[in-house]
Structure 1
Amino acid sequence: MVDVHFLNATLRLKYVTGSDEQNEPIFITKSYRNISPSHNEGDLVAVAHVIASLSSQTLASIVKQETNELS
């Protein structure tokens, strides 16, 4: 049996800030650390959209990155 122990989580919001000479999008990422394991994905998406609404850039993606210890 494998034990999984939550260590930490980070919420990453990726924004489109413009485009380069080849018309490819330029991105910037903002990270929010120490996300509690008790928050479900639906809550995180709702919070991410509220945070993104405060920005003038367009939200491109929302990522939850979790680190666990396996033993």
Structure 2
Amino acid sequence: MIRDLRATHSMTQQDLADRIGVTRQTIIAIQSDKYSPSLEVAFRIATVFAIPLEQVFQYQPSSPAKKTR
């Protein structure tokens, strides 16, 4: 989603990183689902694109852990 938003706004990873105060590597990790941003960073991203947070990020609960005996 962030990649698409950046493309729509003609924004590089570095542009977004600079605007929200993180490194380009952080943007890469968020885009590739290797890192979940803090709530503050998530809000900053949504604010940059002027859209609600839930349009940028959606919570996907992981499946419950199986109990072993």
On whether the aligned pair clears a TM of 0.5, the verdict is no
Comparing both structures, which one devotes a greater share of its residues to strand?
Answer: 1
TM range (shorter): 0.3 to 0.5
Comparing both structures, which one devotes a greater share of its residues to helix?
Answer: 2
The structure with more radius of gyration: 1
TM-score by length of 1: 0.33
Which structure has more relative contact order (CA 8 Å, sep 6+)? It is 1
TM-score by length of 2: 0.33
